[in-house]
Amino acid sequence: MIAPCCPASAVVAAPGHLEQVPCNLCGAWDAALLYPGTIDLLDEQIDPQQVFACTSSHYGRYGPVVRCRRCGLVYLNPRLTAAAIEAAYEAVADTRYLAEREGRVHTFARALSELESVWERHGPRPAGPGRLLDVGCHIGVFLELAVQRGWDAEGVEPSRWAASCGRARGLRVRCSTLQGAALPSASYDVVTLWDVIEHFADPAAELREVWRLLRPGGLVGITTMNIDSLVARVLGPRWPWLMQMHLYYFSERTLRALLARCGFEVLAVRPHRRIVRVSYLLSRAERWLPQASRLAVAAAERLRLADYLVPIDLGDIITVYARRSEPHPSPNGVAVRR
Ligand SMILES: [Zn+2]
């Protein structure tokens, strides 16, 4: 049973809280417009419940998307300030996610099996159970599976609502950002970032923090969308993952480069498959065809197809596994010997 979850406050991020940012990979202030924004950030009221929820259907609503001329990293610029984004994630409550729990269980069970196969080949060999930290663990679906499989697992999650849901299931969840949690150095064998890195205001700083938290040779698992995928290139500005909550759009190349800069050696890159309910899949079209989407969901429910689970893999989401390597990366990404 999932309860009790604290209600989210009705915080609305102020539209004036915008900032310009340099490239997070190479540091350059030299980006070209890739796709003009589809919303006016200065007019837009950013409601965290609508924009920053995991199950947000605000597809196709985003500010200007730019590409760094030097390294090719794609990101939103300008965007909400890091403080405004953090406040939005703290306030968000995503009750729709609870209804989709079963699909997430299947998705994460597969992810955990894949992670364990990489771990067995490349991971450190602790005396007891492996220590795992799930960053942005949300309501704790992956965490719970990891605990059931024998991992000594805990999570960090900024949403007060989601963290309380995880705790209500007996999971160890800190309600915090990763850096705010100030966890001890070299204390985890595995850190997972499932659908999280594209939401960070400063992914390089977060990856350096992951490096600090991992034991030497420890693994990080990252799932994110791939803007160099065929689907992303064909759909261009209509690629559904272009959303205001996604601040960065990595390709395999730019993610590899960022990991190398932050002290990681990439071990494997795999396609990612999601498993979702039929009704959830049909509801995703509500942004473009609201009436047709509602009719399709109603028809699926009448035909008792709504709860069927279907695998989705359009080839535009990747999972990257990387190992903490030495020497330690300095704050500007240049390796230093210690
Ligand atoms: Zn760059």
Residue type, 318: I
- The predicted model scores a pTM of 0.84
Helix axis angle for 203-213 and 252-261, nearest 10°, is 50
Q: Taking the chain, what is the end-to-end CA distance rounded to the nearest angstrom? A: 49
Ligand 1 center from residue 270 Cα (angstroms): 24
Task: Dump pLDDT digits (tens) for 230-275.
Answer: 989 999 999 989 998 899 999 999 999 999 999 999 999 998 877 6
Instruction: Say what the pLDDT of residue 146 is.
Output: 97
Count CB neighbours of 99 within 10 A.
Answer: 12
Reply yes or no on whether the pLDDT at 333 is more than 60: no
Ligand 1 center from residue 100 Cα (angstroms): 37
Instruction: Say what the pLDDT of residue 13 is.
Output: 44
Task: Dump pLDDT digits (tens) for 266-310.
Answer: 999 998 877 666 666 667 666 666 777 677 667 767 777 667 676
Reply yes or no on whether the pLDDT at 54 is more than 80: no
Q: What are 16's two structure tokens?
A: 């004036």
Ligand 1 center from residue 177 Cα (angstroms): 25
**SS3 call for 178:** helix
Reply yes or no on whether the pLDDT at 329 is more than 80: no
- Give me the long-range contacts of 243-246 (CB less than 8 A, separation at least 24): 243/51, 243/56, 243/58, 243/59, 243/60, 243/61, 243/62, 244/39, 244/46, 244/51, 244/58, 244/61, 244/62, 244/63, 244/76, 245/51, 245/52, 245/56, 245/58, 245/199, 246/62, 246/76, 246/198, 246/199
Ligand 1 center from residue 127 Cα (angstroms): 41
Dist. CA 121–CA 268, nearest whole Å: 11
Alpha helices by DSSP H, listed for 123-219, are 141-148, 160-168, 178-181, 203-213
Which domains does the chain show, CATH number per domain?
Answer: 96-273+313-336 (3.40.50.150)
| Residue 20, Cβ density class (10 Å: 0-12 exposed, 13-18 middle, ≥19 buried) | exposed
Ligand 1 center from residue 27 Cα (angstroms): 6
Ligand 1 center from residue 336 Cα (angstroms): 21
Reply yes or no on whether the pLDDT at 52 is more than 60: yes
* 102 band by pLDDT with thresholds 50, 70 and 90: confident
Centroid of chain to Cα 263: 20
Residues 37/64, Cβ–Cβ less than 8 Å: yes
Provide the b/e sequence for 175-184 (b: ≥16 CB within 10 Å): bbbbeebebe
